[in-house]
């Protein structure tokens, strides 16, 4: 998966974990939401604290 998106990696990770017997219902939602945010922000490279913080604040703003 050399050109894989963050969402592709999340789906691969979730499939792997489910294969081990984990249900991951809520964590799956958060991971997919974060991956979509990172892709919309056109983030490339390693994940950063700045990206995660922006996602958390954006998610929080939508909840209010």
**pLDDT tens, residue by residue, 13-43:** 999 999 999 988 888 999 999 999 999 999 9
Does residue 59 have a pLDDT over 60?
A: yes
The share of the chain scoring above pLDDT 90, in percent, equals: 69
Does residue 46 have a pLDDT over 80?
A: yes
pLDDT for res 49: 97
How far from each other are the two terminal CA atoms of the chain, in whole angstroms? Answer: 37
- Alpha-carbon gap, residue 51 to 35, rounded angstroms: 11
- Alpha-carbon gap, residue 17 to 2, rounded angstroms: 21
- Alpha-carbon gap, residue 16 to 37, rounded angstroms: 22
């Amino acid at each position: 998966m050399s050109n894989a998106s963050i969402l592709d990696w999340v789906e691969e990770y979730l499939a792997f974990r489910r294969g081990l017997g984990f249900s991951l219902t809520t964590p799956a939602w958060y991971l997919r939401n974060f991956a979509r945010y990172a892709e919309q922000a056109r983030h490339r490279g390693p994940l950063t604290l700045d990206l995660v913080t922006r996602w958390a604040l954006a998610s929080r703003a939508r909840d209010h």
